[in-house]
A and B are shown apart, each in its own frame.
Chain A
Amino acid sequence: MDCQAEVNCGLHLVIQTSSLPEKNKVEFRLNKETSSFPGRLLQHDLERNYSSRQGDHINLVSSSMPSFPILQRSSEEKILYSDRLTLERQKLTVCPVIDGEEHLRLLNFQHNFITRIQNISNLQRLIFLDLYDNQIEEISGLSTLRSLRVLLLGKNRIKKISNLENLKSLDVLDLHGNQITKIENVNHLCALRVLNLARNLLSHVDNLTGLDSLTELNLRHNQITFVRDVDNLPCLQRLFLSFNNISNFESVCCLADSASLSDITFDGNPIAQESWYKHTVLQNMMQLRQLDMKRVTEEERRMASLVAKKEEEKKRESHKQSLLKEKKRLTINNVARKWDLQQHRVTSIATNQDRKDTDSPSQDSCQMDGSTISAFPEETGPLDPVLTNALQGLSVTDTHLVEVEGDTLSLYGSGALESLDRNWSVQTAGMVTTVSFTFIEFDEIVQVLPKLKMKFPNSLHLKFKETNLVMLQQFNALAQLRRIDQLTIDPQGNPVVNFTLWKYYVLFRLSHFSMQKINGTEVTQNDMIMAERLFGILAHVASSELPQYRVISILGDARKKQFRYLQETKGKKPGIVNEENNDSKRLVGENTNRAMLNYTTRDFYNEKLEEIKEKKKFCQMYIEDLVKEATEINKKNEALQKLWPQMFIELVRDAVIEIRSKNSYMKLCLQQITDQK
């Protein structure tokens, strides 16, 4: 007859016993809840007669040996319950010696105070051993119990799994409520179906190989952070990981590979609080039927895959973003290298030629192939062979970059200046307050400043880096803008920053802007006064001591250049006309004595000088002619001066001679008059 013992923790236990009347149902209850511990009992209390539920009559007689009591049962008991023995709540502190019970198959020591498993080696037929709720500190004394199938050691003080080598038939191993920190020494238990390690001190799960029959693994209430080896358990169906420390799916990713898993719990873990918890688990474990003790519905599965798709989308999006960033970075690097090459070429040319006549370096076409680079062997450092190869690859990417990020417009490379011609939406353009120029010649920037003024009227902060600012004079060009609050000149690529006086000059020349900050430092009243002190006389001399026509011509030049752009574009619209009027009036209102100080880019300047050459030649010739005339006249004058006395005397003499004889003179005059007619 079979006896079925139902156990609360899901254990299904079937024990083959000898025939027993129905009414003597054996109940083994394995409690999960901790019942209050009875007080420690002294050995001499063992004599108390405590009848168990099963009604066994047990006599514990103290033997001659002071530590081990000897167990004796009455012969009726022995015949009735020949294969089972219950010593529950007997206040045992040691395992008693059990004589004459070699047929025992079930042994129950629940709820005692036993500290060591002893004196049971002779019970070699034992199938079921229950030591729940004792004080056992070490698994031992089981090496002869080769038939043992169920070993219940819950609620003890076991620190280590060991000494289970011979228990090859073990079917159920219950070690819950102990102090075990590591799963070990279980790899030989190939018949084990249920393993309970709940309420221990496990921090991780691995070393589960060899448990080929394991169907259920209970790991609740531990400190597990990651799980491994579960995919090596071919029969595992139920895995309970509630109340552990799992926070992401990667730490339990082996579960996805387990085809047999159908039931899993994660509640009470940090991962269960995450928003992506459910669908991540479902998506990764398609084979699941129950999650956290609830059936997985089709609806849930569908949701999970949807969400997973969305995640995929997001990842792709961010990947694209990072690609874009990379491209930007490469472009900027490309521009930087091109710039470097230009600069290097300039320095090598300048040493050979007269600097006065050097054209702007941007005119030189910059080839990106290695042959051009090798022409300058003195350049070391940045131009190593690896780089030239990289450059050949890079020549395919863009040569300039324009970027608008919120309130900043960034321009890299001289090609970027053309973008100012684009049709910017009023909103975008209106938001831009900072304009940053990098890897562009300042002279080129100067030419587009009018455009900048028009298209980005709110730009208050200008930043220059690697723009070849070399002269103080170049700052004069910034005066034409509407307003600048902040100016940042990066020392890299702008030699002008090395000058002691550059900040004061900027403050002086652009005093009408009342700048707040230069290169990040606040502008103080003292700075302004110092600037005025240093350069005030220059302005005064420039304005008051120049002849009027020079003043007009210089101012006129400046206006002409500004108007040039406005005329070229939609200058006919009345709106723009007013703008010009306002602009010009404003310029006059500005400190005009500074307005004398202009900047013409080298190119324009040389152009102008060329134009003047023609005029000069003409003037030279004209003056020469004048001088010739004048000297001739002078000569004649001098000659006249020399000759005059003589001539005068002759004149007088002639006249006197003529008038000597009155008569003949009268006749002569009359003759002359008639001749005239």
Chain B
Amino acid sequence: MLKLGSYPGQRMLSPERLALPDYDYLAQRHVLTYMEDAVCQLLENKEDISQYGIARFFTEYFNSVCQGTHILFREFSFIQATPHNRASFLRAFWRCFRTVGKNGDLLTMKEYHCLLQLLCPDFPLELTQKAARIVLMDDAMDCLMSFSDFLFAFQIQFYYSEFLESVAAIYQDLLSGKNPNTVIVPTSSSGQHRQRPAVGEASLPEGVEASLFSQCLENLCDRHKYSCPPPALVKEVLSNVQRLTFYGFLMALSKHHGINQALGALPDRGDLMHDPAMDEELERLVMRSRLHRTSRQHRATEPGAFGFQRRDKLEAPENMLSASAPTPYPYRWEPRE
């Protein structure tokens, strides 16, 4: 059993952390989520894991949590569960499909959704749609989007989903003239109070006033339990404009360097296509596949029985499941009784 009191490192024992009551602390760090998930995984794969020991399993599990690979091919409910999961997922998506972006292809919202589904089979369409709306400013939803545009907008939408929902509610309130703040500031903006949404918005200036909006958001950030972007940066975004629309605001958030860095999942926009380690690996893979293809083509000229020929293991997979796997798991290659 893990002893919770014995974490190494000085800052672990800082007074604020220890000041929190147990459950709060655990909840804040989402420790229980990972514990539950670990045990659940253990249960699911009892037979396989019992082969090499539970201790090793837990090591691997938490290592993968730290590395951010624990969310690969997991169900959406798990991916959404903690901010760390979300960030890891974003990072994984970036790493896996950076090449698509590098290739310069512009894809539709549906296709990006497809790519997301490759990593998470039950990823909901609404999230992707909302992300696309940010990029396209709620316009033609069939438009093509670039990889970087989509990725950054998706980051904001996915990581801060709950926050954004509240922001949307606030925005609607402001549009319709209801001020969520209890304090009514009798300034020129009070003219907004009398406006009804039924009076065509086109005749009014678009969006809401930035300063008022900023105030509301500040209150929201204070109240919010969920993660929200650093309030200082939000204020920065809002201080640059006089008025702004909902999607304008979100777009500004997605483009903001500081917020991206605060999140820590993705590199800066300028460096988005840049990942030398992966590129090297990719070159190796491409080279290997080239060799494969030519050698297979040679063999393709002599068909065997049924026109199919056995493929010998040309490649020696480095860190992949090797073909010697049958030995530790012999039962796999026989029919189950």
Asked if A546 contacts B69 (CB within 8 A), the reply is: yes
**In the complex, which residues of chain B have a beta carbon less than 8 angstroms from the beta carbon of A547?**
60-61, 63-64, 69-70
Q: Does A609 lie at the interface of the complex (its beta carbon under 8 Å from any beta carbon of B)?
A: yes
- Is the C-beta of A50 less than 8 angstroms from some C-beta in chain B? no
Chain B 1-43 interface 0/1 with A at a Cβ cutoff of 8 Å (1 = within): 1101100000000000000001100100000100111011101
Interface locus among B171-179, B203-211, B256-264, B314-322:
B314-322
- Are A533 and B48 in touch, CB under 8 angstroms? no
Q: Size band of the A side of the interface? A: 35 or more
Shortest CB–CB separation between residue A43 and chain B, in angstroms? 94
Q: A193 in the interface, Cβ–Cβ < 8 Å?
A: no
- Structural contact, A580 and B96, CB atoms closer than 8 A: no
- List the A side residues contacting B315 at CB < 8 Å: 591
Q: Is there a chain B Cβ closer than 8 Å to A28's Cβ?
A: no
Of residues 530 through 581 on chain A, the ones whose CB sits less than 8 Å from some CB of chain B are: 530, 532-556, 559, 563, 566-567, 571-572, 576-577, 580-581
CA distance A501 to B32 in the complex (A): 40
Complex Cα gap A471–B296 (Å): 29
Which residues from chain A contact B329 at a C-beta distance below 8 Å? 552
Distance from A446 Cβ to chain B, minimum over Cβ atoms (Å):
13
B26 and A619: CB pair below 8 A? no
> Complex: how many Å from CA A554 to CA B41?
12
Contact of B39 among A355, A495, A514, A619 (CB under 8 A): A619
Residues 468-502 of chain A, each 1 if its beta carbon lies under 8 Å from chain B, else 0: 00011100000000110000000000011011110
Q: Are A532 and B286 in contact, with the CB atoms below 8 A?
A: yes
B residues in contact with A512, CB < 8 Å: 311
Interface centre among A546, A550, A553, A567 (most CB of B within 10 A): A550
Q: Is the CB of B306 within 8 A of A499?
A: no
Bound-state Cα–Cα, A539 to B1, Å:
36
How does the 8 Å CB contact mask read for B292-306 relative to A, with 1 for contact and 0 for none? 110011001000001
Q: Is A541 a contact of B95 with CB atoms below 8 Å?
A: yes
The interface size of chain B toward A, counting residues with CB under 8 Å, comes to 87
**Which chain B residue lies CB-closest to A580?**
B335
Known A537-B281, A538-B97: A592·B321 in contact at CB below 8 Å: yes
Given known contacts A457-B306, A622-B39, A499 and B286 CB-to-CB distance under 8 angstroms: no
Complex Cα distance, B60 from A498, in Å, reads: 40
CB distance from A326 to the nearest CB of B (A): 36
B181: min CB distance to chain A, Å: 34
Q: Find out whether the CB atom of B99 lies under 8 angstroms from the CB atom of A542.
A: no
Which of these, B35, B98, B313, B335, contacts A566 with CB under 8 Å?
Answer: B335
Distance, CA A618 to CA B323, complexed state (A): 36
B114 to chain A, nearest CB (A): 5
Query: Does A302 have its Cβ within 8 Å of any Cβ on chain B?
Result: no
- Bound-state Cα–Cα, A592 to B322, Å: 8
Q: Does the CB pair B48–A356 fall under 8 Å?
A: no
Q: Bound state CA distance, A354 and B125, in angstroms?
A: 9
| A482-B308, A536-B99, A623-B39 as given contacts; A553 in contact with B321, CB under 8 Å | no
**Which of the segments A102-110, A181-189, A266-274, A626-634 contacts the partner chain?**
A626-634
Q: Give the chain B neighbours of A514 by CB distance below 8 A.
A: 293, 296-297, 300
- Confirm or deny: A584 has a beta carbon within 8 angstroms of a beta carbon on chain B: yes
Q: Within the complex, what minimum Cβ distance (angstroms) separates B244 from chain A?
A: 31
Stretch at the interface among B105-113, B157-165, B185-193, B212-220: B105-113
- CB nearest neighbor in B for A516: B300
Asked if B241 lies at the interface with its beta carbon under 8 angstroms from chain A, I say no
| Alpha-carbon distance A546/B321, docked complex (angstroms) | 11
Docked CA distance A479–B32 (Å): 38
Q: How far is the CA of A471 from the CA of B5 in the complex (A)?
A: 47
User: Is there an interface contact between B335 and A541, defined as CB atoms closer than 8 Å?
Assistant: no
Which chain B residues lie closer than 8 Å to A571 at the CB level? 335
Chain B positions within 8 Å of A619 at CB level: 36-37, 39-40, 43
Which stretch (B116-124, B230-238, B246-254, B266-274) binds chain A? B116-124
For A296, list chain B residues within 8 Å (CB). none
The answer on a CB contact under 8 Å between B1 and A596 is no
Q: Which of B114, B320, B333 contacts A592 (CB 8 A)?
A: B320
The listed residue (A541, A626, A631) touching B1 by CB distance below 8 A is A626
User: B32 to chain A: which residues have CB within 8 Å?
Assistant: 623, 627
B149 to chain A, nearest CB (A): 16
Cross-chain contact B73 with A554 (CB below 8 angstroms): yes
Judged by a CB distance under 8 angstroms, whether B242 is at the interface is no
Q: Which of B61, B111, B118, B311 lies in contact with A597, CB distance below 8 A?
A: B118
Q: Residues of B contacting A533 with CB < 8 Å?
A: 99, 103, 282, 286
Q: Is residue B289 within 8 Å, beta carbon to beta carbon, of the partner chain? A: yes
Most chain B C-beta atoms within 10 Å of own C-beta, residue among A566, A567, A591, A605:
A591
B334 at interface by CB-CB < 8 Å: yes
B326 contacts partner chain A, Cβ-Cβ < 8 Å: yes
Residues of chain B in range 38-55 having any CB-CB distance to chain A below 8 Å? 39-41, 43-45, 48-49, 52
Taken together as a complex, chains A and B put the C-alpha atoms of A42 and B131 apart, in Å, by 112
Nearest B residue to A571 via CB reads: B335
Residues on A with C-beta less than 8 A from B49 are 549
Q: When the two chains form their complex, are residues B100 and A501 in contact, meaning their CB atoms are under 8 A apart? A: yes
Contact with B along A621-657 (1 / 0, CB 8 A): 0110011001100110100000000000000000000
Please give, as numbers and ranges, the residues of chain B lying within 8 Å of A473 by CB-CB distance.
114, 117-118, 121
Contact A605 B122 (CB under 8 A): yes
- Across the interface, do B311 and A589 meet the contact criterion of CB distance under 8 Å? yes
- Checking B122, B289, B335 against A356 with a beta-carbon cut-off of 8 angstroms, the contacting residue is B122
Partner of B278, one of A483, A537, A623: A537
Q: Do residues A501 and B105 form an inter-chain contact, with CB atoms below 8 A?
A: yes
Contact check, A634 vs B121: say whether CB atoms are below 8 A apart.
no
Complex-state Cα separation, A70 to B98, whole angstroms? 120
CA distance A260 to B56 in the complex (A): 109
Are A623 and B36 neighbours in the complex by a CB distance under 8 Å? yes
A563 to chain B, nearest CB (A): 6
> How far does the alpha carbon of A490 sit from the alpha carbon of B92 in the complex, in Å?
33
Query: With A and B bound together, what is the CA distance between A525 and B293 in angstroms?
Result: 8
B72 cross-chain contacts in A, Cβ below 8 A: 541-542, 545-546, 550
For B312, list chain A residues within 8 Å (CB): 589
Contacts of A551 in B (CB 8 A): 321
Residues of B within 8 A of A460 (CB): 307
List of 10 A-B pairs having minimum Cβ-Cβ separation, nearest first? A547-B60, A536-B285, A631-B22, A538-B96, A619-B39, A619-B40, A545-B69, A499-B111, A532-B289, A472-B114
Sample of 13 A–B contacts (CB below 8 Å): A500-B111, A534-B99, A538-B96, A554-B73, A563-B336, A589-B313, A589-B323, A591-B315, A592-B317, A592-B321, A600-B121, A609-B75, A630-B2
List 10 other contacts, CB 8 Å, given A550-B72, A563-B335. A472-B114, A498-B108, A514-B293, A525-B290, A553-B44, A592-B321, A605-B121, A615-B40, A627-B32, A630-B1
